[in-house]
Amino acid sequence: MNFVFDPSPAVKERIEDGETADVVIVQPDFVDELVTAGKILAGDRPIIGRVGVGLGNRMSSPVYDISTPEKLKETLLGADMLVFNNVASGNTFAKALEKLRIAETVKAKILRTSPNGIFDPVLKGKGNDFVAGTMPLIATTPSIKLLGPLPGDLQNYLTYTAVVMPNTSQRETAEGFIKFLTSSKAKEAFAANGVN
């Protein structure tokens, strides 16, 4: 079995461009759009998990306490650069900046990138730089440490669902894989990696 990883918007675009797969795991809104476009069939779409948005920095950088909105605000005001993407997790972080009332103050420090481009600027940076994104992605990226989730009502969770593609030649295997992803064993593994 081959696995290909990409953010949900990129997965949707690849399927719209004709790429095929056996199983697709994306956010529910993208499933709805793909059903409307006739690329996948309407039907069961179990929720696989949900992920929160967090903040990270280079392994060599200091550890910061971001456990409360006030501590997060203080950390962000001291940043040299804030990097986040231009899709759902990045939009959650942008809203957090607005709720903290520092969006204008830190505007010159912000770098918004493609979903896959959030880590390079921080890894190549030399200042007090931070990256915001989904917690599992931050936690599993080499040389980046996860400082923690966005606290309190600044948090927003991205939900993921799994669907079998209509053109699969491995329908039974694909359905079995989705069944495994919803099992208690899989849920334990997800939870250990920041997926609820």
In this structure, what CATH number is given to the domain that contains residue 114?
3.40.190.10
Assess whether 92 and 130 both reside in one domain.
yes
Report whether pLDDT(95) > 70. Answer: yes
Indicate the SS3 state at residue 45.
coil
C-alpha distances in Å from residue 179, one per residue of 44, 48, 132, 185, 187: 11, 10, 31, 11, 11
User: Longest C-alpha distance within the chain, in Å?
Assistant: 54
- Which of the four pLDDT bands, split at 50, 70 and 90, describes residue 106? very high
Tally of domains in the chain: 2
Task: Identify the residue with better confidence: 33 or 97.
Answer: 97
pLDDT score for 168: 83
**Strand spans (E) along 36-183:** 47-51, 53-58, 81-85, 110-113, 129-134, 144-149, 158-164
Assess whether 60 and 77 both reside in one domain.
yes
Residue 130: CB atoms within 10 A of its CB come to 26
pLDDT score for 8: 80
Assess whether 94 and 168 both reside in one domain.
no
Assess whether 57 and 106 both reside in one domain.
yes
Report whether pLDDT(167) > 90. Answer: no
Q: Are strands 81-85 and 129-134 parallel, antiparallel or unpaired?
A: parallel
Is 110 a member of any domain? yes
Task: Identify the residue with better confidence: 17 or 42.
Answer: 17
Is 119 a member of any domain? yes
Q: Which residues of 140-166 are buried (b: 16+ CB within 10 A; e: fewer)?
A: ebeebebbbbbbeebebebebbbbbbe
Assess whether 96 and 147 both reside in one domain.
yes
**Residue 3 belongs to what H/E stretch?**
none
- Which of the four pLDDT bands, split at 50, 70 and 90, describes residue 4? confident
Assess whether 78 and 110 both reside in one domain.
yes
Is 69 a member of any domain? yes
- Which of the four pLDDT bands, split at 50, 70 and 90, describes residue 121? very high
Is 192 a member of any domain? no
Is 88 a member of any domain? yes
Assess whether 69 and 139 both reside in one domain.
yes
C-alpha distances in Å from residue 47, one per residue of 24, 57, 109, 175, 177: 12, 30, 36, 14, 13
For the whole model, what pTM was predicted? 0.80
Is 178 a member of any domain? yes
Assess whether 31 and 81 both reside in one domain.
no
Q: Domain range spanning residue 20?
A: 8-50+160-185
Mean per-residue pLDDT over the chain, rounded? 90
Assess whether 43 and 117 both reside in one domain.
no
Assess whether 95 and 118 both reside in one domain.
yes
Assess whether 125 and 112 both reside in one domain.
yes
- Flag the least confident range among 43-47, 54-58, 62-66, 175-179: 43-47
Is 194 a member of any domain? no
Assess whether 73 and 127 both reside in one domain.
yes
